[in-house]
Amino acid sequence: MRTVSVERIINAPLEKVWEVAGKFGESPGSSIEITVEKDGDPNSNGLGMERTIHFLKLKVKVYERLESFDPPNSFSYSVLSGAPVKSYLGKAEFSAIGDATKVKWSGTFTPKIPGLGWLIGIMSIKNINNFLDELENIK
């Protein structure tokens, strides 16, 4: 099992960052396409929602499910397909730092092919950074 983690300060208030990042079924910007494949439980903040997320710049497409949702603090998701992993659990955590927002995004996974964890880790970090780059555009 391997873990990757990225931390970044977004120069926007927590409420504005969460308004974009916390919408699991919507794209944060033009370099990412999201398609909701299955609606989640409306009584539980959409838990169980499944989406296809397509990182256009990286030409990567994965299928994910929303596992936990704690507005405006965090959400977690699992990757169901589209990545060479047996399991992948991602977690995004948000906290206010004055007028800015600290985002800590991590992913824990087991590669399908032993020895390729380092490469999957690099790709995972690129996908996370692509999402965070979109959050940088929040005003």
For 99-131, the pLDDT digits (tens) are 999 999 999 999 999 999 999 999 999 999 999
Q: How many domains does the chain have?
A: 1
CATH number at 95 reads: 3.30.530.20
The total of other beta-carbon atoms located within 10 Å of residue 41's CB is 11
Give Cα separations from 103 to 38, 56, 126, 132, 136 (angstroms).
Answer: 27, 22, 15, 8, 11
**Residue span of the structural domain in which 85 resides:** 2-135
Distance CA 18, CA 2 (A): 27
Strands 74-81 and 85-97: antiparallel
For 65-105, the pLDDT digits (tens) are 999 999 999 999 999 999 999 999 999 999 999 999 999 99
pTM of the predicted model over 0.85:
yes
